[in-house]
Structure 1
């Protein structure tokens, strides 16, 4: 199949109105379900968490990136169900379940397998099945196809199968699901075109790849690119610190170049569902192919070690004031994995707090979006009266750059460490 980018208009959906089923109503699935419903498609939303479907039926959103008002405006266009029988009445079923890694850092496809088994139980001829969950190349045509074909129907003959990797960026004020181009790979050219007809009505443009594996590889490359560059700036920040250079100022200066450079900034680590996870899917696939990606695996290690490095710097800074880290009161500002959202999936603040605690620090946290962070069974509640707590702390560590953390607050601190500016 020739690769093709198609510009489309959301005013005139590419395909006719059809009933769409969406399995998984989290940070990726719910925005997509809402986008389909807003484009005029009746949507059946399914989630194995009853509290999620109950909230949606009450007109409340379970994720902070989709407002309650937006859900309520849909009226009956989005039906949130606990059972899956209605999937049989859908023309298309989109799977948006998590694909994390296990304790050993290997891909965990259990939720994806379960969701596909649910689809297979209700699969009928003529349906389109789309996998949005992030996977490594070969999963859609291998694991997914095998589970779906237990229905007795054959992919590419009796039903269409496509992979359309999600491109959700929670909290991004510029690009939402409708304004972000989508990549589509199909088992056959007809499968890809059917997916293009569905997504063409809800996104600005689509890019059809040569096949499923190219679409699968696109997503893991996108986030591996970010992982590797973050690993680079974390090492670069440590180098700058050794020379007394402001790493953030250097990155700002380099970013003035209008070509050939994209700024990445150091932090306390790497979080979210994508960047700490997707490169492991790629590394797993590369090892299986006999072509290990050493740079990717090294970047992963650098970023995994970053929280410990940050605590090392905290200890050094406190020592310059005559204070030991053991017994010191450290206030951690921001615990979500990115600014101005409540999402704490894989937040590096968890290993950061764990390391601070292990070295004897008295850790307090503040986050306007996260009322509590649980680390190893210990409940850290977000403090109130932020100004007073900042003034009391021996060290204020800016772990996340929420917009509320301005200089008016921070000037009261005895000692501030911002890893975005320094190592």
Structure 2
């Protein structure tokens, strides 16, 4: 293939992107894929959403959003530009750009699990063609795009950087964030070659307000890990400080608020019952795993992970002591959990510390219930199972409990009613400290 032919393939794809003639295929219609589909459709592209869940496909084609912060009306709007959801992966060949947004969890031994990525590549590789762009957005270890995805492309008889383009651009979704969305969050982008990066930049520049190009796919992969490791380490530090301050009879929230008045050199992170979501509890371990390949032991990162993972046990131990002071055993106690989403005002329970607290309480033989305005019934999850539905939060239901644990501080909760009627209240989020009231905290 001549240089002129190679340049013509690149130019043709960029022209199709800039003229909005390109069709974008997004694989994985979840918390990353759906917002990206909305952003792409809003930018004028025809979007084809791929998923293996038929219920999800039917829901999306009926313009019913399964995500609280994405209105169904947004799906209706992009449907006008040709949005459609499908499980027919043979239609990958119809797409000019393919973006993979599938989960990358950890397995039971906390090793990276790329099975969703590799199974996706198994399904689509036979349909890849000349003149396409393939982007991976799923969080992973540095080197994944080059070492895992690229061989699939080459096996399909395509040459990356010449007749096919491969990039990595990590998702930066923050469900429920009222200040930033897919369009306004800057997008880091690394290409396998300069031509790959140029095509990727053309695509994402048409969708988001700012693209931040870096030197390689591995640099982009590492960027995503650094962002979440920084948060994990800082939250882990605050969680450890919380335990120390509590042992000394000090209020850690008062101390953090005082330290935050320093106009330089201090960023306020707050403790809680643990960390949740698909990123912060998982992403750091992708780097610790990869670092072992280089003979490195990332002790600092792993320590933060251990501290954060220990917080649900700390909360339960706090409850055990509080009940014991009232002459009540934990076994058989009626305990109400407030909030099972991993953060306020969303419905996402992935890796939620509330779920781990609930499992510990169940193991103790607790008479357990929960209330969450965003999660009416405990969802189907791969590794956690509860046959529970959210109960109505009333003075009567609160008074019936032996203890109430505030784990997620949804703004829909009536904190005055909770404080007035809960016989024993464990506040893991410092809500009442911020309201000028002191109640038992964990």
Q: Same fold (TM over 0.5)?
A: yes
Shift of 1:406: 3.3
Shift of 1:119: 3.0
SS in 1 for 2:378: strand
8 Å contact 1:119–1:148 — kept in the other structure?
no
SS in 1 for 2:18: coil
The question of 1:401 aligning with 2:406 is answered no
Residues 47-67 of structure 1 show CA distances to partners (whole Å, capped at 9, x for unaligned) of 111111111111111222311
2:58 to 51, 54, 58: 54
8 Å contact 2:134–2:165 — kept in the other structure?
yes
Tell me the equivalent position of 1:414: 423
The question of 1:15 aligning with 2:24 is answered no
Residues 64-120 of structure 1 show CA distances to partners (whole Å, capped at 9, x for unaligned) of 231111111223421111202322122111111111111111111111012123332
Shift of 1:376: 5.6
8 Å contact 1:327–1:361 — kept in the other structure?
yes
Tell me the equivalent position of 1:65: 69
Give runs of ≥4 in structure 1 deviating > 4 Å.
374-377
Question: Residues of 1 paired with 2:170 and 2:64: CA distance?
Answer: 26
Q: Which runs of 5+ in 2 are unaligned?
A: 1-15, 431-440
Tell me the equivalent position of 1:104: 109
Tell me the equivalent position of 2:321: 316
Tell me the equivalent position of 1:148: 153
1:41 to 40, 45, 49: 45
* Superposition map of 1:246-261 within 5 A: 246-261=251-266
SS in 1 for 2:411: coil
SS in 2 for 1:152: coil
Tell me the equivalent position of 2:395: 387
The question of 1:185 aligning with 2:179 is answered no
Q: Which has the higher contact order (CA 8 A, sep 6+)?
A: 1
8 Å contact 2:190–2:220 — kept in the other structure?
yes
Tell me the equivalent position of 2:6: none
Shift of 1:251: 1.5
8 Å contact 2:408–2:429 — kept in the other structure?
no
Question: Residues of 1 paired with 2:394 and 2:359: CA distance?
Answer: 22
Question: Residues of 1 paired with 2:44 and 2:143: CA distance?
Answer: 33
Residues 248-286 of structure 1 show CA distances to partners (whole Å, capped at 9, x for unaligned) of 121222222333222221111111111111011111111
The alignment covers a number of residue pairs equal to 411
Residues 303-325 of structure 1 show CA distances to partners (whole Å, capped at 9, x for unaligned) of 11110111001111122223222
